[in-house]
Structure 1
Amino acid sequence: MNEHFLSEYPGTHIEMEVKTCDFEDNDQLPVKVEEAIRKIVKKEGYTNHKQTSKAISTDGGNYLGSLYEVNVTGYTEVGKKETNIFVKGIIPGDLLSVLSVTEIFNTEVFFYNDLAVVFDELQNEANVPAKERYNIVNSFQESIPEAIILENLSKKGYKTGFRMDVISLKFAELTVQQLGRLHGLSFALENKKPNYFNRKIKSLSVPYKFNEDFKGLITISGKRISECLDDDVRERFTAFLEKLWHDVQRYYSDQTYKRTIVHCDYRANNILMKEIDGEIIDVVPVDYQFIHYGCPVTDFLYFIFLGTDQEFRKNHLEHLKDLYFDSVTKMLKYFNIDVKSVFPRKDFEDLYTELLGFGLFSFVQIMPFIFAVEGEIPELGKDQLDGESIKCDERMKGRARGIVDDFIRWGVM
Structure 2
Amino acid sequence: MSGITLEFLQNLLKDDYPDVTVQDFEGAPGTKRGDNYTSMVFRIQLKGVQKHRDPDASGETTQPWTGSIIYKCLPDSIERRKTFKSEELFCNEVAFYNKIWPALNDFQQQRKVKSPFKAIPKCYLAQDDLVILKDLKQQMFVMPDRRQGLTIEQCYFVLKNLSQFHALSLAMKHYNPEEFYELLNVQDGISEVLFTGDNEDYYKSYYREATRNAVDMVEEELAGCEDKEKYLSKFREFCSEETFFQMMVSLVTPREPLAVINHGDCWTNNFLFRYVDGDIAEMVIVDFQLVRYASPALDLAYLLYVCLTREQRTEHLPSLLEYYSEELYKRLMELSDDGSVFSGMDKDTLNELFQEEFHRSGKFGLGSALDMYPIMTCDSNEAPNLYQAKDTELVPPHESTPVSTSNAACRKKMTDLVRELVDGGVL
TM bucket normalised to smaller: 0.7 to 0.9
Moved more, 55-64 or 352-361: 55-64
State whether structure 2 residue 341 is matched by structure 1 residue 338. yes
State whether structure 2 residue 179 is matched by structure 1 residue 196. yes
C-alpha distance in 1 between matches for 2:33 and 2:2: 21
1:381-403 per-residue CA deviation (whole Å, 9 max, x = no partner) reads 55565136x33542112211211
Change (3 A) 1:116 1:33: farther
* Match in the other structure for 1:207: 193
Match among 28, 42, 58 for residue 55 of structure 1: 28
C-alpha distance in 1 between matches for 2:132 and 2:299: 25
Contact 1:221–1:367 under 8 Å retained in 2: no
Match among 154, 176, 191 for residue 137 of structure 2: 154
C-alpha distance in 1 between matches for 2:407 and 2:273: 24
Match among 179, 185, 189 for residue 168 of structure 2: 185
Contact 1:217–1:365 under 8 Å retained in 2: no
Match among 29, 37, 49 for residue 74 of structure 1: 49
Counterpart of 1:64 in 2: which secondary structure?
Answer: coil
More relative contact order in 1 or in 2 (CA 8 Å, sep 6+)?
A: 2
Contact 2:234–2:422 under 8 Å retained in 1: no
Q: Which amino acid aligns with 1:273?
A: F
What is the identity percentage for the equivalent residue pairs of Structure 1 and Structure 2?
Answer: 19
1:267-306 per-residue CA deviation (whole Å, 9 max, x = no partner) reads 1110111122322222111100111111111111000111
Q: Which amino acid aligns with 2:423?
A: R
What does 1:71-150 correspond to in 2, within 5 Å? 71-72=45-46, 73-76=48-51, 82-92=66-76, 93=78, 95=80, 100-130=85-115, 133-140=117-124, 142-150=125-133
C-alpha distance in 1 between matches for 2:5 and 2:327: 38
Change (3 A) 1:246 1:109: closer
Indicate the RMSD between aligned Cα atoms, in angstroms.
2.6
What is the Cα deviation at residue 261 of structure 1?
0.4
Match among 407, 414, 419 for residue 400 of structure 1: 414
Moved more, 154-163 or 350-359: 350-359
Q: Which amino acid aligns with 1:317?
A: L
What is the TM-score with the length of structure 2 in the denominator?
0.81
Counterpart of 1:334 in 2: which secondary structure?
Answer: helix
C-alpha distance in 1 between matches for 2:257 and 2:83: 24
C-alpha distance in 2 between matches for 1:77 and 1:193: 46
C-alpha distance in 2 between matches for 1:148 and 1:307: 26
Change (3 A) 1:146 1:305: same
State whether structure 2 residue 3 is matched by structure 1 residue 31. yes
Counterpart of 1:411 in 2: which secondary structure?
Answer: coil
What is the Cα deviation at residue 254 of structure 1?
5.3
Change (3 A) 1:171 1:53: same
* Match in the other structure for 1:7: none
What is the Cα deviation at residue 123 of structure 1?
2.4
Change (3 A) 1:255 1:408: closer
Contact 2:99–2:183 under 8 Å retained in 1: no
C-alpha distance in 2 between matches for 1:271 and 1:103: 22
C-alpha distance in 2 between matches for 1:154 and 1:370: 22
1:232-286 per-residue CA deviation (whole Å, 9 max, x = no partner) reads 2323311122254432211123555731101110111101111223222221111
What does 1:211-226 correspond to in 2, within 5 Å? 211=201, 212-226=204-218
What is the TM-score with the length of structure 1 in the denominator?
0.84
C-alpha distance in 1 between matches for 2:152 and 2:418: 22
Q: Which amino acid aligns with 1:351?
A: E
Counterpart of 1:219 in 2: which secondary structure?
Answer: helix
C-alpha distance in 2 between matches for 1:314 and 1:351: 19
* Match in the other structure for 1:13: none
Counterpart of 1:265 in 2: which secondary structure?
Answer: coil
C-alpha distance in 2 between matches for 1:96 and 1:308: 30
Counterpart of 2:183 in 1: which secondary structure?
Answer: helix
Contact 2:373–2:413 under 8 Å retained in 1: no
Change (3 A) 1:48 1:125: same
C-alpha distance in 2 between matches for 1:323 and 1:197: 27
Q: Which amino acid aligns with 1:70?
A: I
What does 1:317-332 correspond to in 2, within 5 Å? 317-332=317-332
**How many pairs are equivalent?**
382
Contact 1:52–1:70 under 8 Å retained in 2: yes
Moved more, 151-160 or 335-344: 335-344
Q: Which amino acid aligns with 2:9?
A: I
Change (3 A) 1:340 1:353: farther
1:145-199 per-residue CA deviation (whole Å, 9 max, x = no partner) reads 2111111001111111111214211100000111111110111222343222112
* Match in the other structure for 1:239: 237
C-alpha distance in 2 between matches for 1:239 and 1:144: 42
* Match in the other structure for 1:367: 373
Q: Which amino acid aligns with 2:235?
A: F
Counterpart of 1:176 in 2: which secondary structure?
Answer: helix
Change (3 A) 1:47 1:306: closer
Contact 1:94–1:102 under 8 Å retained in 2: no
Stretches of structure 1 lacking an aligned partner (at least 5 in a row): 1-28
* Match in the other structure for 1:347: 353
